[in-house]
């Protein structure tokens, strides 16, 4: 069956034909490509057409598809059985690897997704402080838990009310929304809710409503306000963790979070998330503390082995190479865009993340996003897809460059762009 037939069948059996909304190519006037296999920087669809991949499973695959070391670790783990529901040393090795490299954490609790990690962090922050409310930023996405599906990004970006039905008013009422970049507005929210705010959640590199890079001074301002009002500062580094720097945005900016959530890279493409922080905070979690959190498959040995192998390869040299490759990819995209009808577009970059948007100025909050984004994106997406270049099928999602996007892939990218 080709992608069209598979999608038709899928729509009968699965809501909208997908298990995560962005995959549906909604608004892109074509059926999603069904991927048959992937290797290095390339994807192949069911029709056998190949694509240079800049979606990269939305971020975990920093070494590309089927990295041989990660694959070897997965295969070796499979030979020992793939789920025990008991203590094992593999999650311990991954936790140790993280704690040794992240000076602001002492303990880690693994989950099966970024959403679960954030869900644990919300409950933990409430348990630690005894306060009910959380603050999040308009446009930041923190997974699909009720408390965070209010003015979120990713698959909700660009929708009319940017929030989900099924979230109760009580849930929504405990989540306070602030615009990114506006410290006085944030302070006013703290002042209006004395002693009620458990935590401030932020993607320290907001990357789910395009790429809305904030300044270090702003992140320092958040730290100051959280200290002043007794709230925890939670960095959601599901995307940025181990990608922008070994220490994520916390490591890059030196701003210390009270709790951090991770996902994606720490699982190497397997379903993994984590909440991490100082021991004094983390030991509020069961079985030591009163905040319950659990998971049948948490700390899955295969996922843990994949994550460790993925991260062990992240040497300073690897980050340097990733940065150079990313700069080259973005330069090519911009050069091509200028000469091929996308003069209004610019591809902005932060490390190995990029976002193509019809604005030459880097944007800082969602109110600055041009209103013609969707319609322009459709043209860009279609042009690239036809040339065998796959970017995430949603105007608000960022692109990911991997270490597999090497010189030969770059040549191939150039050839395809100008073909």
Least Å distance between CB 392 and ligand PMP? 10
The count of residues in the chain is 419
Separation of alpha carbons 294 and 270, rounded Å: 18
- Contact letters for ligand PMP, residues 265-304 (x by CB under 6 A): --------x-------------------------------
242 is a site residue for ligand PMP (CB under 6 A) = no
Yes or no: say if 350 and 213 are a contact pair by the CB < 8 Å rule: yes
115/298 with CB nearer ligand PMP: 115
- Contact letters for ligand PMP, residues 108-127 (x by CB under 6 A): -----xxx--x---------
328/348 with CB nearer ligand PMP: 348
Binding-residue total with ligand PMP (CB under 6 A): 16
- Whether the ω angle into residue 287 lies within 30 degrees of 0, i.e. cis, is yes
Yes or no: say if 319 and 174 are a contact pair by the CB < 8 Å rule: no
Separation of alpha carbons 390 and 50, rounded Å: 9
Least Å distance between CB 256 and ligand PMP? 19
From the list 44-52, 232-240, 337-345, 408-416, the region that binds ligand PMP by CB under 6 A is 232-240
Q: Cα 223 vs. chain centroid, distance in angstroms?
A: 22
141 is a site residue for ligand PMP (CB under 6 A) = yes
Least Å distance between CB 118 and ligand PMP? 5
Q: What strands lie across the sheet with 133-137, from one edge to the other?
A: 107-111, 273-277, 259-262, 232-236, 197-202, 133-137, 175-178
CA distances from 202 to 149, 171, 233, 257, 265 (A): 14, 18, 8, 10, 19
Q: Is 141 noted as a catalytic residue in this protein?
A: yes
Neighbours of 245 (CB within 10 A): 16
The only residue of 3, 138, 208, 209 in contact with ligand PMP, by rule CB under 6 A: 208
From the list 101-109, 139-147, 224-232, 293-301, the region that binds ligand PMP by CB under 6 A is 139-147
- Contact letters for ligand PMP, residues 14-53 (x by CB under 6 A): ----------------------------------------
From the list 26-34, 176-184, 231-239, 405-413, the region that binds ligand PMP by CB under 6 A is 231-239
Separation of alpha carbons 369 and 383, rounded Å: 22
154/325 with CB nearer ligand PMP: 154
61 is a site residue for ligand PMP (CB under 6 A) = no
If DSSP codes are grouped into helix, strand and coil, which group holds residue 256? coil
40/143 with CB nearer ligand PMP: 143
Q: What strands lie across the sheet with 399-400, from one edge to the other?
A: 346-350, 353-357, 399-400
Torsion of CA 337, 214, 206, 129, to 10 degrees: 180
* Residues 6+ positions from 73 with CB-CB distance below 8 Å: 268, 305, 306, 308, 309
Q: Is 49 noted as a catalytic residue in this protein?
A: no
Helix or strand holding residue 279 (H, E)? helix 279-282
Q: Residue holding tokens 């580094």?
A: 237
From the list 141-149, 171-179, 274-282, 398-406, the region that binds ligand PMP by CB under 6 A is 141-149
From the list 23-31, 140-148, 170-178, 225-233, the region that binds ligand PMP by CB under 6 A is 140-148
CA distances from 131 to 85, 175, 266, 288 (A): 33, 12, 30, 20
156 is a site residue for ligand PMP (CB under 6 A) = no
- Exactly one of 136, 236, 345, 390 is catalytic; which is it? 236
381 is a site residue for ligand PMP (CB under 6 A) = no
Sign of the dihedral defined by the CA atoms of residues 275, 276, 279, 281, in that order = negative
- Output the six-digit token pair for 241: 């963790």
Q: Which are the catalytic amino acids? A: 141, 236, 264
| Residues near ligand PMP, by CB under 6 A | 58, 113-115, 118, 141-143, 154, 203, 208, 236, 238-239, 263, 273
């Amino acid at each position: 069956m080709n992608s069209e037939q598979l999608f038709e069948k899928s729509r009968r059996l699965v809501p909208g034909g997908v298990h995560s909304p962005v995959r549906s190519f909604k608004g892109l006037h074509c059926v999603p490509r069904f991927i048959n296999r992937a290797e290095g920087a390339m994807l192949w669809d069911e029709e056998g057409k190949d694509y240079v991949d800049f979606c990269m499973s939305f971020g975990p695959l920093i070494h590309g598809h089927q990295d041989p070391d990660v694959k070897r670790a997965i295969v070796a783990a499979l030979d020992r059985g793939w789920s025990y529901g008991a203590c094992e040393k593999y999650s311990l090795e991954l936790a140790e690897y993280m704690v040794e490299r992240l000076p602001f954490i002492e303990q880690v609790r693994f989950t099966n997704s970024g959403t679960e990690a954030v869900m644990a962090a919300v409950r933990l922050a409430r348990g630690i402080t005894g306060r009910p409310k959380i603050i999040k930023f308009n446009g930041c996405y923190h997974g699909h838990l009720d408390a965070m599906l209010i003015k979120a990004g990713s698959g909700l970006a660009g929708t009319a009310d940017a929030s989900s039905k099924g979230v109760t008013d009580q849930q929504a009422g405990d989540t306070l929304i602030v615009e990114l970049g506006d410290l006085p507005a944030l302070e006013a929210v703290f002042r209006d809710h004395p002693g009620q705010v458990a935590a401030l959640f932020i993607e320290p590199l907001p990357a789910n409503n395009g790429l809305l890079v904030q300044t270090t001074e702003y992140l320092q301002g958040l730290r100051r306000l959280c200290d002043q009002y007794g709230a925890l500062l939670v960095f959601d580094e599901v995307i940025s963790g181990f990608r922008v720097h070994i220490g994520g945005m916390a490591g890059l900016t030196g701003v210390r979070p009270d709790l951090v959530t991770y996902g994606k890279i720490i699982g190497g493409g397997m379903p993994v998330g984590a909440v991490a922080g100082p021991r004094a905070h983390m030991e509020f979690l069961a079985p030591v503390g009163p905040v319950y959190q659990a998971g049948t498959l948490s700390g899955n040995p295969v996922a843990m082995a994949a994550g460790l192998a993925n991260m062990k390869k992240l040497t300073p040299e690897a980050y340097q190479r990733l940065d150079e490759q990313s700069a080259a990819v973005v330069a090519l995209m911009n050069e091509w865009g200028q000469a091929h009808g996308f003069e209004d577009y610019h591809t902005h970059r932060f490390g190995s993340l990029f976002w193509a948007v019809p604005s030459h100025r880097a944007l800082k909050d969602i109110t600055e996003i041009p209103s013609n984004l969707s319609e322009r994106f459709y043209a860009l997406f279609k042009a690239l897809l036809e040339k065998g270049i796959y970017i995430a099928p949603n105007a608000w999602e960022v692109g990911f460059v991997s270490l597999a996007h090497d010189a030969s892939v770059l040549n191939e990218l150039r050839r395809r762009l100008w073909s």
